[in-house]
Structure 1
Amino acid sequence: MNKQERKQCQYADYYRMTGEGEHTGLRCLKTLFLFHHLAFMYWYRKCQQKSTFFRRYILYRMSRKFGLEISTKATIGKGLYLGHPYNITVAEGVQMGQNVNLHKGCTIGRTNRGNAGVPKIGDCVFVGINATVVGNIEIGDDVLIAPNSYVNVNVPSHSIVIGNPATIHHRDNATEGYVNFRV
């Protein structure tokens, strides 16, 4: 990721999490210090661009303090939204599209047996509180994964996933009202 792409990702993340179009000046700096999810994403994108010891150390400290275990080797598109940002886990190798919402306690991870591998997540996806998405699966675009759901099967676009085991219901505009400030 080059410097220009990283800046665009940072601006998109800032917009998705605050709803404000302004990304510069004292207001942006103040927001970075007051909200740990914005600061985490700032340092996360910096580490993706060029990983230095200082950047990795800051990201490590923030990861341990807030439980944000998001691998820098995951591919995350523009506009990641961290809602109630504590204890969120994203494994190495996971691919996520644009406008993805991750909420408290969600896990997006690898399985080593059965459907071994990591998930590939599309655009405009909402992952609810304590939801788990694991395995070599594909989640389509415009998918809402309800809180406390366990997903280890492919999910087509325009769907709502509920429960354990996952029950998939088709719905057009499934994330309308859930994924806001899209980029």
Structure 2
Amino acid sequence: MEKNSVEQKFSKYIVTLSIAIPLAVAVLFSVRLKDFGFNLEPLSFLPPIYATINGITAIVLVAAVMAIKNGNRKLHERLMTSAIALSVVFLVMYVAYHMTAEATKFGGEGTIRYVYFGLLISHILLSIIVIPLVLITYVRALAERFDRHKKIAKITFPIWLYVAITGVVVYLMIAPYYVQ
């Protein structure tokens, strides 16, 4: 298969997923399973787990960049595939938690409140933007279009790293306000 046709083949999937994932998360975020007769306990154990997954994702991303800079393409590929898998696991846990628990209100006051909401808003917006960037970057590597892959990876990497790190920071800031 020609390299351009690989990118073209996946372009519809990239567009579909880039729209469907944020929409599904937004819809599912507002769904509470108890409203549909499911008598589930809130999955209150999940936030520290998915925050840890975000932290691990950040470490894996940095390790992947170091691997490629050291010429270890195979390790880079495995680490990037792992980072994508970790992000998918995070997303499933995040949605599952929010479908079983009430929203947690941030209780900080003053400057810290502005810092928290600034981080949260930038985290959410960039987490939406990073979806197509990650998918395009990955497909360009699959298509062996490494010149184009490298160009977009320079944009994707810092955004994805920011999203992973701010996910941990946002969790640490709101953790004291979770209802147990």
Normalised TM-score (structure 1): 0.23
- Based on CA coordinates, which of the two structures has the bigger radius of gyration? 2
Greater strand proportion: 1
Normalised TM-score (structure 2): 0.23
Specify which structure has the bigger relative contact order, considering alpha-carbon pairs within 8 angstroms and separated by 6 or more residues. Answer: 2
Greater helix proportion: 2
